[in-house]
Amino acid sequence: MFRKLLSLDEAKIMMAKSFQPKPLGTEHVSLLEACGRVLAENVISPINVPPFDRSTVDGYAVKAEDTFGAYEAKPVKLRLCGTVNVGEPPKIMLENGMAAGIATGAPLPKGADAVVMIENTERENDHILVYKSVVENENVMKAGTDIHKGENILKLGKHLTWKDLGILAALGFEKVRVYRKPKVAIISTGAEIVAPGQMLSPGKIYDINGYTLGAATARCGAIPMNFGVFPDNFQILNDILKKALETADVVITSGGVSVGPKDLIPKVLDSLGSPGVIVHGIAIKPGKPTTIALVDEKPVFALPGHPTSALLTFYLLVRPVLVRLAGRRADEILKTVKALTGVRVFSAKGRRTFVMVKLVREADGKFVAFPIATGESGAITTLAKADGFITVYENQQFVDAGEEVTVSLFSF
């Protein structure tokens, strides 16, 4: 079976033709669980905030016109007709010549239209002396001036922050409708791979991808499900992929897709459902063996086994899909930063080349990007040192030292 090696752009187009990621449904969660989730409804304010005209100071509720002309030397005398407490509906009806004691946050009584600060008054038995006039609405926060009843205060698709929780709480919502998180099955394959915690027999190494891809998946707003490590065996891989497809919305495998006699994953994927493999190999470095399949509408990403290659191809191809399935905006791709290259960076002939870099901040605040030796893309410390990667395009021979480049950040 021969399939042409696609360019990254062709692979993305092929993917987009076969699969349009959309949110996977909604759920009702409590406010405390809603932080970081994506709003699946337009939030229309059911109330005014504040719900009533509210005093913003401690003092006396008055009719503003009664205080006109009052000043230090010539106070106005008003009759005290009661007190409005915080949290209580006012029973008072204020008439001309009257004042009512009021605390910060208490509702303005009927008839009142302003509040005189306590500092500008003096109590005299059943009366108060007002030493400073107020205008209408002075020291009053009118009902609905913060949030108006009927206002579309939070829009569908909003990525909820702690600030939004504050708004939802102010409106009295205890729960909110958000998009369901996509479930992502993560499967590590390879005869040499052993799960952490197990004995390491000669010739074996511990699984890394199950954890780095898991953490990256969680950062996309999805739920990683670490299925574990499986050997290169048709029946075993067939069974576990079938199980993964039944449970998860997206499946990621790593390892077992290089060109060689044991590359069973593409065969297994073709056998599991239609259309099966849609991208088999991409002209990128690293990541050439990356394979994408669609099995009965569910995407399966078969990434290379090297930790750096696996994470890079996750960022290029899996992340945009997960983000959209989670209901986030399509343009929520990678964070980038401009930097100057520290040395000349070469491309791999005919393949779009991604070079892991470490960023160093110069005294003038500019970033310099230094490539990290990736002779062995299996080295976990290589990956751990990388702040992100730079791209050398197919038509570029190299990026020269000191050239400005865009660094895509592994922004965690």
By CB under 8 A, what part of segment 241-260 binds a copy of itself? 258, 260
Q: Which of 167, 241, 295, 322 binds a copy of itself (CB under 8 A)?
A: 167
Q: Which residue stretch of 170-178, 274-282, 290-298, 352-360 sits at the interface with a copy of itself (rule: CB under 8 A)?
A: 170-178
CB 308, min distance to a copy of itself, A:
10
Q: Which of 4, 17, 74, 163 binds a copy of itself (CB under 8 A)?
A: 163
CA angle, 292 as apex, 287 and 297 as ends, to 5°?
A: 160
Query: Is residue 388 a contact point for a copy of itself (CB under 8 A)?
Result: no
CB 112 within 8 Å of CB 62: yes
307 vs 327, which CB is nearer to a copy of itself? 307
Q: Which of 378, 396, 403, 409 binds a copy of itself (CB under 8 A)?
A: 378
57 vs 295, which CB is nearer to a copy of itself? 57
Residue numbers 42-101 binding a copy of itself by CB under 8 A: 47, 49-52, 54, 56, 58, 85-90
Residue numbers 349-368 binding a copy of itself by CB under 8 A: none
382 vs 408, which CB is nearer to a copy of itself? 382
CB 166, min distance to a copy of itself, A:
4
Q: Which of 165, 334, 340, 409 binds a copy of itself (CB under 8 A)?
A: 165
How far are the Cα atoms of 9, 213, 225, 286, 350 from residue 376, in angstroms, in the given order? Answer: 26, 19, 28, 11, 21
The neighbour count for residue 126, using CB atoms within 10 Å, is 8
How far are the Cα atoms of 90, 181, 211, 285 from residue 86, in angstroms, in the given order? Answer: 9, 42, 53, 67
Q: Which of 19, 117, 157, 211 binds a copy of itself (CB under 8 A)?
A: 211
* φ, ψ dihedrals at 371, nearest 5°: -65, 145
Number of residues that bind a copy of itself (CB under 8 A): 85
DSSP 212: H
SS3 category, 109 = coil
Task: List the one residue out of 328, 384, 386, 318 whose CA is nearest residue 357.
Answer: 386
293 vs 316, which CB is nearer to a copy of itself? 316
Residue numbers 310-349 binding a copy of itself by CB under 8 A: none
Q: Which residue stretch of 75-83, 93-101, 121-129, 189-197 sits at the interface with a copy of itself (rule: CB under 8 A)?
A: 189-197
Total count of residues recorded for the chain = 412
First vs last C-alpha separation in the chain: 40
Residues sharing a CB contact under 8 Å with residue 4, sequence separation 6 or more, in sequence order: none
CB 316, min distance to a copy of itself, A:
17
Rounded-to-integer distance, Cα 303 and Cα 318, Å: 10
